Amino acid sequence: MAETQMHAFFVCSKAVSCWELLGVHNTIHDLLLNANTFTSMFFDLMDKLQTQEQVLVAMTLWSLWKSRNNKLWLASDTSPSSIVTLAKDTLNKWICMQRASGHQFITQILRILG
């Protein structure tokens, strides 16, 4: 049976552990009760979060995807704490690069992020 996006990103034990580490698991759990699709779940989740949480959740989704690919293609398993650390580190590097570039739109977003 093929794995769904909902399972891979929100329901599997590794994803649940990541969301617990970020402190958003209860919000995700509550939204899953009524979610029909990954897309609706994603946008409903974004609506419930502060801006700082939104960007970290988005980066964690990317990190979960990267972890799945590493397991599939490289037979390398990644712990939930490593997945979250990768998301945070990558986000911090992106923020630093955006600040250095000085683009006005990005600068406004970075003010919101702190």
Q: Which own/partner contact pairs does 8-17 have at CB distance under 8 Å and 24+ positions apart? A: 8/64, 8/65, 8/68, 9/38, 9/61, 9/64, 9/65, 10/41, 14/64, 14/67, 14/80, 14/83, 15/64, 17/80
Cβ neighbours around 81 below 10 Å, total: 11
Residue 18 pLDDT > 60, yes or no?
A: yes
- In this structure, are residues 86 and 17 in contact, taking their beta carbons and an 8 Å threshold? no
The pTM (predicted TM-score) of the whole model is: 0.86
**pLDDT tens-place string over residues 24-79:** 999 999 999 999 899 999 999 999 999 889 999 999 999 999 999 999 899 999 99
